[in-house]
């Protein structure tokens, strides 16, 4: 149980375009979803926390107009990187929680902006 | 604030060697502690956890004990295998904003086990 999927697993886009990443909880209801960013050989940096039906709460230094997060249902959250630039290239990982302590992580999405 | 410090790698061991990866933390409040493992190109998997002092988390031969007096949660395994090669993250979780548990991660330790 507690499976989280992400789609796509890899995406390459041109600079200036927008990219949407989906995060789904497959077998439980995720009241809270988290979005992380991971740079090569570094730790995970929490970008934002979203509760179903509410606006996301962004961590300090994360541009909310650039990284749009939607959590419209208990099984789906999306992260849209708007007007992507090469410096946005990274590994994006989501996690989901059913309102309890544990977070279950998706497999990640590798974004490359050319 | 909350922070996690874990030993820097990379760590390279031979198969069947003993593994220790040190982790210490600072936290406001009473955190829960975790070890996550990340295999190449994948997301994170929970390896083990402990939610209160003196608890021992264990899984797949790995163990870690929540030591409040030393604010530590060191990961150990008596005999590592090649398949244990991965990046290991120590993390803590505290209740934030009234209802959400936010994870704070260490920088990760790359473990390579050679045959």
Q: What is the pLDDT of residue B98?
A: 61
The answer, yes or no, to whether the previous bond of A12 is cis (omega within 30 of 0) is: no
Spatial contact of A13 and A19, defined as CB atoms under 8 Å apart: yes
Which residues from A are below 8 Å from B49, CB to CB? 102
Alpha helices, H only, B25-101: none
Q: In what order do the strands lie in the sheet with B56-59?
A: B19-21, B75-77, B62-65, B56-59
Which residue is it, tokens 């507690």? A2
Write the pLDDT tens digit of every residue in B47-79. Answer: 999 999 999 999 999 999 999 999 999 999 999
Q: When comparing pLDDT for A52 and B19, which is higher?
A: B19
Of B42, B93, B105, which has the smallest distance from its Cβ to A43's Cβ? B105
> Is the model's pLDDT at A99 over the cut of 90?
no
Q: Is B97 on the interface with A (CB under 8 A)?
A: yes
Which residues are CB-contacts of B98 (< 8 A; sequence separation ≥ 6)? Answer: none
> What per-residue confidence (pLDDT) applies to A42?
77
pLDDT cut 90: percent of chain B above it: 78
Asked whether residue A40 carries a pLDDT value surpassing 90, the answer given is: no
Paired strand residues for B65: B56
* B42:A101 CB<8 A: no
Cβ–Cβ below 8 Å for B101 and A108 = no
Classify residue A87 as exposed, middle or buried by CB count within 10 Å of its CB (0-12, 13-18, 19+).
exposed
Our CA-based measurement puts residue A83 at a distance from the nearest CA of chain B, in whole angstroms, of 25
Query: Nearest by CB to A49, which of B32, B100, B106?
Result: B100
Please report the pLDDT score of residue B74 as a whole number.
98
Length of chain A: 114
Put simply, the answer to whether A46 touches B49 (Cβ < 8 Å) is: no
Digit-coded pLDDT (tens) for A59-80: 999 999 999 999 889 999 999 9
B31 CB within 8 Å of a chain A CB: no
State yes or no: pLDDT of A16 exceeds 80. yes
Q: Which of B43, B97, B108 sits opposite A108 (nearest CB)?
A: B43
């Amino acid at each position: 149980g507690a499976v989280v999927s992400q789609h796509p697993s890899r995406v390459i886009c041109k600079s200036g375009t927008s990219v949407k990443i989906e995060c789904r909880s497959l077998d439980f209801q995720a009241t809270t979803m988290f979005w992380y960013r991971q740079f090569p050989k570094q730790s995970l940096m929490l970008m934002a926390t979203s509760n179903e039906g509410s606006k996301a709460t962004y961590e300090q230094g994360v541009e909310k107009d650039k990284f749009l997060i939607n959590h419209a249902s208990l099984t789906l959250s999306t992260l849209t990187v708007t007007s992507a630039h090469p410096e946005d290239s990274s590994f994006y990982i989501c996690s989901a929680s059913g309102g309890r302590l544990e977070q279950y992580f998706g497999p990640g999405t590798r974004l490359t902006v050319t | 604030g909350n922070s996690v410090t874990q030993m820097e790698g990379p760590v390279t061991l031979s198969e069947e060697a003993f593994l220790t990866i040190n982790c210490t933390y600072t936290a406001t409040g009473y955190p829960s502690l975790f070890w996550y493992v990340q295999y190449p190109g994948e997301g994170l998997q929970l390896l083990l956890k402990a939610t209160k002092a003196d608890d021992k988390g264990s899984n797949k031969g790995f163990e870690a004990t929540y030591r409040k007096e030393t604010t530590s949660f060191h990961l150990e395994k008596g005999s590592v295998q090649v398949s244990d090669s991965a990046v290991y993250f120590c993390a803590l979780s505290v209740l934030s904003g009234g209802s959400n548990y936010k994870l704070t991660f260490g920088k990760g330790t790359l473990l390579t086990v050679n045959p």
